[in-house]
Chain A
Amino acid sequence: GESVGLHLPTLSVQEGDNSIINCAYSNSASDYFIWYKQESGKGPQFIIDIRSNMDKRQGQRVTVLLNKTVKHLSLQIAATQPGDSAVYFCAENRGGFQKLVFGTGTRLLVSP
């Protein structure tokens, strides 16, 4: 029979555009969130994190926004470059638990 893999949502942008990748989380008790970038053939790489007592955090070319009211997390990448092409995962740490819960990921494709 035909095999079916995970269907990753894909965001296609042009080089130089700003990218926004979204993630919905399910547990209102989650208190810590991380964004990871995974390039082909590599392990997930930490990009930026945010704690639940914050609603925004900025890094180099990246910004994470946290909206606890609607349980939504977003990653904004400014001036997207071809090297940003990867799968991006959000992860939440549910309060009182020791392990992260990962989203299924979003594929970002950047065209030159």
Chain B
Amino acid sequence: DAGVIQSPRHEVTEMGQEVTLRCKPISGHDYLFWYRQTMMRGLELLIYFNNNVPIDDSGMPEDRFSAKMPNASFSTLKIQPSEPRDSAVYFCASRRTPQETQYFGPGTRLLVL
């Protein structure tokens, strides 16, 4: 299995621009998670999906952030408009069930200038 796939791996953009991060979970995994990692706050859960349905989005910082999962093999995390404080590494992770291991993707390193 290829593991969790994320794109792009690096993104540099200017403040105010729209940013879209993409994730392909491991096939057969029913849970998909979006995390953000910064030096200041560590690893934070933003939102997670079960069977393509958003279950908990309480970690989404504000309305500028949105996430979708149109099918079992694809999810997006969008920031519009982006701000410098959104600069971080964004990870996608997936797992089959809550009683099984959660696997992380390689992350997208976002820099907003």
Residues of chain A touching chain B, judged by Cβ–Cβ distance below 8 Å, are 3-6, 31-32, 34, 36, 42-46, 49, 51, 89, 91, 93, 97-100, 102, 104-105
Q: How far is the CA of A104 from the CA of B4 in the complex (A)?
A: 23
Of B41, B55, B56, B107, which contacts A43 at CB under 8 A?
A: B107
Nearest-neighbor residue (CB-CB) of A104 within chain B: B42
Known: A43-B105, A45-B104, A49-B101. A99 touches B40 (CB 8 A): no
Q: Is B39 an interface residue (CB 8 A)?
A: yes
Contact partners of A102 in chain B: CB under 8 A: 42-43
Contact indicator B42/A6 (Cβ below 8 Å): yes
Contact partners of A44 in chain B: CB under 8 A: 43, 91, 104
Q: Is B13 an interface residue (CB 8 A)?
A: no
Q: How far is the CA of A3 from the CA of B39 in the complex (A)?
A: 10
Q: Is B50 an interface residue (CB 8 A)?
A: yes
Contact partners of A97 in chain B: CB under 8 A: 98
Contact indicator A93/B103 (Cβ below 8 Å): no
Nearest-neighbor residue (CB-CB) of B99 within chain A: A32
Please give the distance in Å from B96's CB to the nearest CB on chain A. Answer: 12
Contact partners of B50 in chain A: CB under 8 A: 98
Please give the distance in Å from B44's CB to the nearest CB on chain A. Answer: 9
Please give the distance in Å from A34's CB to the nearest CB on chain B. Answer: 6
Q: Which 5 A-B pairs have the closest CB atoms?
A: A43-B104, A5-B39, A44-B104, A98-B98, A43-B107
Q: How far is the CA of A44 from the CA of B50 in the complex (A)?
A: 21
Q: How far is the CA of A104 from the CA of B43 in the complex (A)?
A: 8
Q: How far is the CA of A19 from the CA of B24 in the complex (A)?
A: 35
Q: How far is the CA of A3 from the CA of B107 in the complex (A)?
A: 24
Of B39, B45, B99, which contacts A6 at CB under 8 A?
A: B39
Contact indicator A89/B43 (Cβ below 8 Å): yes
Q: How far is the CA of A17 from the CA of B40 in the complex (A)?
A: 31
Q: How far is the CA of A27 from the CA of B97 in the complex (A)?
A: 20
Contacts A98-B31, A98-B50, A104-B42 given; 11 further ones with Cβ under 8 A? Answer: A5-B39, A6-B39, A6-B40, A6-B41, A6-B42, A31-B99, A44-B91, A49-B101, A98-B98, A99-B45, A102-B43
